[in-house]
Copies of this chain bind each other. A is one copy, B any other.
Amino acid sequence: MLLFRHFASALALTLLLTCPAPTLAADQPLPTPDTVSPELQALIAAPPSPIWNAHPASADEWKKLVGAVADASLKMLPGLREKLGVTLTKGELGGVPVFYLTPAGMPAERCDRLLINLHGGGYVLNPGESGTLEATLMAGLGGYRVVYVDYRMAPDHPYPAAIDDALAVYRELLKTVPAEKIGVFGTSTGGAMTLILPLSARTAGLPMPAALGAGTPWSDLTRTGDTYFTNEGRDNMLVTYDGWLGDAARIYAAGHDMKDPMLSPVYGDLSGFPPTMLTSGTRDLFLSNTVRVHLKLREAGVPADLIVFEGMSHAQYHILPDAPETKLHFTELARFFDRYMQAAGK
C-alpha cells in the first residue's frame, strides 16, 4: 500500500495536465451494445421485467404472481419441446415430484449419465412443469438427459424444504446411478442450490456429484457484493434487490440467518468441491455473486470455469433458444460435464 500511495502522490504533485472532468456516460442512457447477437440486443433493449417491482403482501398475492408467471411459461413450453425434439415425462424420486427431459438423440457415452436440474425463481416462482425451461434447453441444445426437481417452495414451504427435496432426489438417484455419472446444474436460485447440494451431501455422508453448472448463482441472499449496487437499474431482469427479490429472500429464509452457507453458499467451505462452471453477464445483478464463488473455488484449488457474456443481464442466456449466446452456454456446459465425467473414467 505504501508503494501505491507514494506513486499516486508523486504523480499528483508532478502533473498539471488535467482538464475539467467531462460528462460521464453513467449519467446518460446506456447504448445497446452491438457487440452481441441481434437476439441478445433485443433482450438488452427491452423494458425491465414486468414483475421486478412486485411486492406481494400475502401468501395469496404471492400465489397470484407465481400463477401469472407460470401460465405464461406453460403456454410456451410445449412448442419449445417440439422445436427442440425434447420429451417430457413425469416421475417421482425419494418422494419428490420430478420431470424427465429427454433429448431425441444423444452421444453413446452420455447414455448412462444424468443431470439434475434445480430451477430458478427465488424459491417462490416456477412450480411444476412451468420451471422446466432451462432443463428443456439443456436436453435440447446440450444433448443430456435431465431430471428436473419440482422442489417445495415459499411461502408455504420456507427453508430448508427446497434443499431437503433436492437432497432427497440426489440420495434416491445414487441407488442406481454412481455419483461420478451425475452432474447438477441450475440458474439463479437453482445455481445457488447447485452449490448448496454438495454441502448437504457432504454433511449427509454422501459422495459428491461429478461436476456442477452454477449459472449466475444467488450465492449471497443478503445484499452483499459489488454488482448488487453497480448493476442496479442496469440489469433489466432483476433490476434491484429492493424488488420482489429481497422479499423472496426474506420469506424463504423465514428468520434463519441469511449468511448460513445453506442459504448463501458463498460462505460455505468449498474445498473438495466438484469442478464447477459458472456463467454470468456484464450487466448481471449477480455478477458479483458469480465471481465471488468462482474466486473462492479457485483459491480452494477446485477446477472452476467462468463465462461472462457481454452486455447480458441476469440469466438471459436461457431465454431465447435461437440466440447464439444461448447455444454457446448450453454447448459449453455440456462439454464441461463431458470433460469431468470422462476424467472420472466413465
- Main secondary structure on chain A at its contact with chain B? mixed
Q: Contact partner of A25 among B229, B282, B322, CB < 8 A?
A: B229
A2 CB, min distance to chain B CBs, angstroms = 9
A42: interface (CB < 8 Å)? yes
- The tally of residues in A whose CB lies under 8 Å from a CB in B reads 87
Q: Which of A142-150, A253-261, A299-307 contacts B (4 or more CB under 8 A)?
A: A299-307
Q: Whole-angstrom distance between the alpha carbons of A123 and B320 in the complex?
A: 41
How many copies of this chain? 2
Q: Which of B11, B19, B30, B43 contacts A230 (CB 8 A)?
A: B30
Q: Contact between A291 and B308 (Cβ–Cβ < 8 Å)?
A: yes
Q: Contacts of A232 on B, CB cut-off 8 Å?
A: 24-26
**Does A225 sit at the interface, judged by CB under 8 A?**
yes
Nearest Cβ on chain B to A283's Cβ, whole angstroms: 6
19 example contacts (A-B, Cβ-Cβ < 8 A) are as follows A4-B319, A6-B72, A8-B46, A8-B50, A10-B75, A11-B51, A15-B50, A15-B54, A18-B51, A18-B54, A19-B53, A21-B53, A22-B240, A30-B229, A30-B230, A33-B229, A287-B308, A292-B310, A306-B308
Which residues of A are at the interface with B, using a C-beta cutoff of 8 A? Answer: 1, 3-4, 6-8, 10-12, 14-15, 17-22, 24-26, 30-31, 33-35, 39, 42-43, 46, 49-56, 61, 64-65, 68-69, 71-73, 75-76, 79-80, 224-234, 239-240, 242-243, 282-283, 287-288, 291-292, 294-295, 298-299, 305-311, 319-322, 328, 332
